[in-house]
Amino acid sequence: MISLRTRIYLLLTALVLVTLIGGLVMVWYTYRMEGLLTNIISKNIATFYAAEGLEIALVNQKGFVSYYFLDGDPDWLRQLGEYRQVFKERLKEAKTLVQNEPQMEAIAQIEAEYGRYVLFKDQVILHYKEGDRETGARLHKETRNRFFRILDLCEEYKALHREAIEQVRNKSLLQAQNLRLVAAIAILTVLILGVLLAFVLTKQILIPIRRLTLEADRHVQPTGAGDEVNILSQSVRGLIKDADHTQAALEKSRETLLQAEKLASVGKLAAGMAHSVRNPLTSVKMRLFSLHRALELSPTQRDDFEVISEEIRHIDTIVQNFLEFSRPPKLKTQKISPSEVVNLVLQLLRHRLESYNVAATVSRQAPLPEIQVDPEQLKEVLINLLENACEAMEGGGAIVIHEEKGFREPEGPVVIIRVTDTGPGIQKSIQEKVFQPFFTTKEEGTGLGLSIASRIMESHGGRLELISERGEGSTFNITLPIKEP
């Protein structure tokens, strides 16, 4: 017995073959039709137009001798000569397009009659020139009879070509009829094969699959190896098992989502706590400052006091960074050149740079144009980058701030500030993490500085990028759009 797969393959192969053969036959008939049309256009129609041109060239010669007889103007004879030349050219063209013996005989007869016609007409013109109008008029009448004889021959020549065109047309109609018959047989065959294929698919595939969806026992092993339906049943059971695994994964994801919501709530609570801690912390700092001025401390006590003050400042920095990270930056933009902010930052950090033994220089051809920017937040970004660079260059080094205008997609026209240091650089493995919250390589860092700086740049419609090679320093690119954020 032929298997289900084989039967489907046989029906599909038959469908493809019938379609392919029908397509090839139609293509072949199109080439035949194209050949017929080419034959009509290039030969029969061309010769027909040539015959019609002969007739027109002949008709154009009529009347010039009569006009000459009436007013004696020699210009009429000149025009007659031009049209005679045209007729000879048409006759020569018609000779080159002759396809059979009857056409050749018709052309030869036209040529002979035209020669006699021209001879008689020249005699008429000669008599008119000599003043013998009576003889000229008699010969002129006979010339008209020869003219109409040539005209009739031209019509007969055209009739030959009309007959040839009609024969080709009938032949093309016959071929078109045969093509329709072949197409109808091919369509009928494809419909029959399609019905058979639909029957096989419905009877031996769709109905068993429908039964398969209704079966309740998932643990019955398939019988009849090689039966595609039973193999499909086994696959469906595997899909059901996969669905069970997916359900378990969804439950786990749901638990993870609940945990994330709890963490978000904890984050909000922590932000509130940080805000609450900051107020008493500020009060402690003020009291320490007052005590430091009022008390007379021993060297040991003064060291302890400095350590306490430094740790409190560190806690305050952590709380400040946490608060800034927990709330999105609110822009207070104004029209200002970023170059002014760069100059201000360098002036503010002058003593700090000297304490780290770091030389900072600015490379600019001209001050950057004024753009809409929050100068305080841009100053915060630059201070963060410069302080990070100073801490990375423990033994001192150099920082170069390069300013330029440019064009980047999708921002368009932008200003670019590059902060380059001569530090040890950043490893490739952690470069993608430096902008993540709470990621830090410092023992006392919070890991929020670069994350806040990146978010500030994004709120301006710009970006903060890192380019670094281990042992070759680091470059942070600040890109700000010239248009309003």
Q: Which domain holds residue 400?
A: 332-481
What is the structure's pLDDT at 217? 47
The reported pLDDT for the residue numbered 173 is 75
**CATH code for the domain in which residue 381 is found:** 3.30.565.10
Q: Which residues does 292 contact at the CB level (< 8 Å), separation at least 6? A: 305, 309
- Number of helices (H) and strands (E) in the chain: give both, helices first: 14, 7
Residue 315 maps to a domain: no
| Total domains in the fold of the chain | 2
Answer with the residue of higher pLDDT: 362 or 180: 362
Lowest mean per-residue pLDDT among 126-130, 257-261, 419-423: 257-261
Give the pLDDT score at 216.
Answer: 46
User: Is residue 318, in this structure, part of any structural domain at all?
Assistant: no
- The average pLDDT across 434-455 equals 72
Confidence of residue 223 (pLDDT cuts 50, 70, 90): very low
Residues 6+ apart with CB under 8 A from 246: none
CB 278 within 8 A of CB 319: yes
Residue 429 pLDDT greater than 90, yes or no: no
| Residue 483, Ramachandran bin (φ over 0: left; ψ between -120 and 50: alpha; else beta) | beta
Domain-ending residue, one of 197, 228, 247? 197
**End-to-end alpha carbon distance in the chain:** 75
Quote the pLDDT of residue 338.
93
Handedness of CA 30, 36, 42, 48 (dihedral sign): negative
Query: Is the pLDDT higher at 478 or at 426?
Result: 478
Query: Is the residue at 299 inside a domain?
Result: no
State the CATH number of the domain containing residue 168: 1.20.120.1730
Query: What is d(CA 199, CA 342) in angstroms, rounded to the nearest whole number?
Result: 80
Going edge to edge, which strands form the sheet with 463-468? 358-363, 397-408, 412-421, 474-481, 463-468
Percentage of the chain modeled with pLDDT above 90:
9
91 compared with 32, residue with greater pLDDT: 91
Whether residue 229 lies inside any domain: the answer is no
For residue 340, pLDDT over 90 is answered with yes
Q: What is the pLDDT of residue 213?
A: 58
Q: Which two tokens stand for residue 382?
A: 């630059």
Determine, yes or no, domain membership for 207: no
For the whole model, what pTM was predicted? 0.40
What is the 8-class DSSP label of residue 203?
I
Higher pLDDT, 403 or 137: 403
Task: Note whether 193 and 336 are same-domain residues.
Answer: no
CA distance 360 to 352: 11
Q: What is the mean pLDDT of residues 366-378?
A: 90
- The per-residue pLDDT for 220 is 46
Alpha carbon dihedral 102, 106, 108, 111, in 10-degree steps, equals: -170
Residue 237 forms part of a structural domain: no
In a domain, 384, yes or no: yes
Point out the domain boundary residue: 178, 197, 216. Answer: 197
Query: Which tops the pLDDT comparison, 57 or 385?
Result: 385
Q: What percent of the chain has pLDDT over 70?
A: 75
Residue 219: the pLDDT is: 45
- The residue from 164, 197, 230 where one domain ends is 197
Q: What value, to the nearest 5°, has the Cα angle with vertex 48 and ends 43 and 50?
A: 95
Check residue 226 and give its pLDDT: 44
Mean pLDDT of all residues in 136-140:
77
pLDDT in the model for residue 467 = 87
**Spatial separation of the C-alpha atoms in residues 161 and 29, rounded to whole Å:** 25
For residue 417, the Cα-to-chain-centroid distance in whole angstroms is 34
The verdict on 338 and 190 lying in the same domain is no
**E strand map for 246-386:** 334-336, 358-363, 371-373
Instruction: Evaluate whether residue 376 is within a structural domain.
Output: yes
